[in-house]
Chains A and B, each alone.
Chain A
Amino acid sequence: MALAAENISLHISGFKLLRDVSMRVEPGTVSAIVGPNGAGKSSLLKVLTGEMTATLGQVDLNHQPLNTWTLKQKAKMLAVLPQHTALNFPFTADEVVALGRIPHQTGKYQDELIVADALKAVDASYLERRFYTQMSGGEKQRVQLARVLAQIWQPTQLGNQFLVLDEPTSAFDLSHQKLTLEIVRGLAEQGIGVVLVLHDLNLAARCADNLVVFDSGTIAAQGAPEEVLTEQLISQVFGVRSIIAKHPVTQKPLVIT
């Protein structure tokens, strides 16, 4: 059971956005996708989540082609947090998070409990009755994170669950970046497969089991962060000279530029 992309190519109006990309997200693991702007990270996420159909290749969710699941079934197994969500209606935070319960029929009482727990998990309980339209960028992003957490809060009998996050930490301060990584690791421990796009290589190295480095529409390297991150790869993909050190505490690779 996994979320797996096999030999994906995506061509849009003559541009080859993805070329022969394969990756597997195993349940209980965290995959981080890094790479320069325009390398195709977001395109891969769109194909992985079924928002775009690959020109060639196939995406499987729990041993079944992604598009053979009904939208409802898919929503119970796969939650997606896009980079930006333009919500300009004055929902309160708990109403936004409650939208994550739409695919489920668990009843009002249980949904309310889950919503409160999800807000607490992202350190946003104090926002509960506040209006989304009046929040700061970081607060909005935390509420949206809570929404996708609420969507996969309970396991489903359909199969393993997966969470896809596109740059979840872009608007966060240090403490919330750290909190996000802890949430992601915690979800993996519960058996959820997490895919996230990150820009910060050190964050990615710290939380990922599988680090996927993207370069111009194809995967330049993937594997454990310690094996993947080399000075040569970083200069080749990002065009930046760097030193790879070891984090004194976590022993994870540390990219110094």
Chain B
Amino acid sequence: MRRFSPPFVIGLLVFLLPLVVIFAIGTGTVNISIDEILRAIMALLPSGSASASSQASTILFDIRLPRVLLALCLGAILAISGAVMQGLFRNPLADPSLIGVSGGASVGASMVIVMAGGWVQSSAALGLSAVAMGAFTGGFIATILVYRLATSNIGTSVTTMLLAGIAIGAIAGALNSLLSYFADNDMLRQMSLWQMGNLSTANWSRVAIIAAVAVLLVGLFPRDSRALNALLLGESEARHLGIDVQRVKRRLIVLTALGIGTSVAMAGMIGFVGLVIPHAIRLLIGPDHRWLLPGSALAGAILLIVADSLARVVVAPTELPTGILTALLGAPFFVALLIQRRREI
């Protein structure tokens, strides 16, 4: 196995991110050249003398930019939460959905779709927010359940938590099926679309919410980097290294539930990013969380922006659910990494 220098990889990702953002806001059913993008940005400045076509600037600032920013924040949240969960569970294949948050969120969303009936469509904006609230509530309830099940007077057992997550996930799956059974065709379509993950509901108020959560997570998670490194040795080893394991665990789980709950509420289920990005970054630069966490956040943001841009153009003028593309893009990359690493071992 060969590793790349972490500062080099992170530097590369930092360099790539703005390029990807500019590429993404220029791409879509209507292509906008870099020239026009620059002119539109200049026009925003008070002293700007250049004038942009109003159509281009509407597309850029009302449609594309919020969507790209939503993808950026979501990707960062999903990937950094995935990295944290893999460290916490000491399992490189763990994923944020393990703590039950995704299952719970999907039940919450389905429930709102079915209960509200036709109402979700009749007032789309309000309906969608209701679905988001349902998802967030469902995700949080599931996480609390899993956490309570795994916590006894001697602390929180990570193994029990994993098993409880599977159990809660199974219950969530059953509830989802039950809800689909009672749903009519229209609701079914909405539910399945929602589960595929979709960023088309982006607007500035959603961006504000998700950006706040992303800043919180990206700001707070790295403070526990060394604790996560120690936790990879095992919980009692981490305690002997002076880490308050129970507090760290609780903090990380609450933040992850908040992050994943919010992202599922905003864009439905976008799989793969949380599982594969941290894994891929770890293969590249090693398991030290001081580098792994920022690296994952950046790479997750980039993957989701690229996937979402493609989702908008591959079958234009309609668009694909983003979740399908994250898997289609990420999986081959991951397989390639695995094959390459296998040869080197």
Q: Nearest chain-A residue to B154 (Cβ)?
A: A52
Residues of A within 8 A of B230 (CB): 99, 102
Q: Is the CB–CB distance between B287 and A90 below 8 Å? A: yes
Cβ of B18 < 8 Å from any Cβ of A? no
With beta carbons under 8 angstroms apart, the residue of B92, B234, B240 that contacts A78 is B240
Interface residues of A in 149-207 (CB under 8 A from B): 151
Cross-chain contact of B242 among A51, A71, A90 (Cβ < 8 A): A71
User: Does A90 contact B233, Cβ atoms closer than 8 Å?
Assistant: no
Residues of chain A in range 55-103 having any CB-CB distance to chain B below 8 Å? 70-76, 78-80, 82, 85-92, 95-96, 99-100, 102-103
A75 CB, min distance to chain B CBs, angstroms: 3
Given A102-B226, A131-B1, also A90-B241 (CB < 8 A): no
Query: CA A102 – CA B282 in complex, angstroms?
Result: 21
Which chain A positions have C-beta within 8 A of B288?
91, 95
Task: For B286, give its contact among A49, A70, A80, A91 (CB under 8 Å).
Answer: A91
Query: Using Cβ atoms and an 8 Å threshold, which residues of chain A touch B244?
Result: 71
Given contacts A87-B233, A89-B92, contact A99 B286 (CB under 8 A): no
Per the bound structure, the CA–CA distance linking A184 and B62 in Å amounts to 69
In the bound complex, do residue B234 and residue A91 qualify as a contact, i.e. CB atoms below 8 Å apart? no
Residue of B nearest to A101 (CB): B241
CA distance A97 to B90 in the complex (A): 18
Contact B237 A95 (CB under 8 A): no
Contacts A82-B237, A102-B226 known; A91 to B242 CB distance under 8 Å? no
Give chain B nearest CB distance to A76 CB in angstroms: 7
**A82-B236, A87-B232 in contact; A151/B1 too (CB < 8 A)?**
no
Chain A residue, CB-CB nearest to B227: A102
A85 cross-chain contacts in B, Cβ below 8 A: 233-234, 237
Check B286 against A71 for contact (C-beta < 8 Å): no
Map CB proximity to A onto B38-58 as digits: 1 under 8 Å, 0 otherwise. Answer: 000000000000000000000
**Chain A residues positioned under 8 Å from B232 (CB to CB):** 87, 89, 91
Q: Which residues of A contact B90 (CB under 8 A)?
A: 86, 88-89
Chain B contacts of A82 at CB under 8 A? 234, 236-237
Interface residues in B328-343 (C-beta closer than 8 Å to A): none
Complex Cα–Cα for A75 and B243 (A): 9
With both chains docked as a complex, state the minimum distance between the C-beta of A245 and any C-beta of chain B, in angstroms: 39
Q: Which of B234, B243, B287 is A102 in contact with, Cβ under 8 Å?
A: B243
Contact with B along A110-149 (1 / 0, CB 8 A): 0000000000000000000001001000000000000000
B223 interface contact, C-beta 8 A: no
The answer to whether the Cβ of B239 comes within 8 Å of any Cβ in the partner chain is yes
Which of B1, B92, B234, B240 is the most central at the interface, judged by chain A CB atoms within 10 Å of its CB? B240
Residues of chain B lying within 8 A (CB to CB) of residue A91: 232, 286-288
Q: In this assembly, does B27 line the interface, its C-beta being within 8 Å of a C-beta of chain A? A: no
Query: What 1/0 mask marks residues of chain B from 241 to 279 whose CB sits below 8 Å from any chain A CB?
Result: 111100000000000000000000000000000000000
A45 CA to B336 CA, complexed, in Å: 46
**Distance in angstroms between the alpha carbons of A71 and B299 in the assembled complex:** 35
| Minimum distance in angstroms from A122 CB to a CB of chain B | 17
A87-B233, A99-B229, A102-B230 known; A80 and B240 CB under 8 Å?
yes
Q: Taking the nearest CB of chain A, how far is it from the CB of B231, in angstroms?
A: 10
A151 to B241, CA, bound (A): 8
Query: What separation, in Å, do the CA atoms of A90 and B1 have in the docked complex?
Result: 9
Least distance between A225 CB and chain B CB atoms (Å): 28
Residues on the B chain within 8 Å of A80, using CB: 236-237, 240
Chain A residues near B1: list those with CB within 8 A.
Answer: 90, 131
**Complex-state Cα separation, A79 to B241, whole angstroms:** 8
Please determine whether B241 and A102 come into contact, CB atoms closer than 8 angstroms: yes
Pair B287/A75 contact, Cβ less than 8 Å? no
Q: List, in ascending order, chain A residues with CB within 8 A of B240's CB.
A: 49, 51, 75, 78-80
B contact residues around A89 at 8 Å (CB): 90, 92, 232, 282, 287
What residues of chain B lie closer than 8 Å to A134, measured between beta carbons?
A: 345
Rounded to whole angstroms, the CA-CA distance of A82 and B233 in the bound complex is 11
B242 touches A103 (CB 8 A): yes
The chain A residue with its CB closest to the CB of B87 is A89
**Which of B229, B233, B239 is close to A71, meaning CB atoms less than 8 Å apart?**
B239
Task: Give the shortest distance, in Å, between A184 (CB) and chain B (any CB).
Answer: 18
Residues of A within 8 A of B237 (CB): 80, 82, 85
Known: A96-B233, A102-B241. 14 other contacts (CB 8 A): A51-B240, A70-B242, A72-B242, A74-B242, A75-B242, A86-B90, A86-B234, A87-B233, A89-B92, A91-B232, A92-B286, A95-B286, A99-B233, A102-B243
Tell me the A residues contacting B by CB distance below 8 Å: 49, 51, 70-76, 78-80, 82, 85-92, 95-96, 99-100, 102-103, 131, 134, 151
6 cross-chain pairs, A with B, having the tightest CB-CB distances, nearest first: A75-B242, A103-B242, A89-B287, A72-B242, A80-B240, A102-B241
What residues of chain B have their CB less than 8 Å away from a CB belonging to chain A? 1, 90, 92, 226, 229-230, 232-234, 236-237, 239-244, 282, 286-288, 345
Can you list 7 A-B pairs, Cβ within 8 angstroms, ordered by A? A70-B242, A71-B239, A75-B241, A78-B240, A90-B282, A91-B286, A102-B230
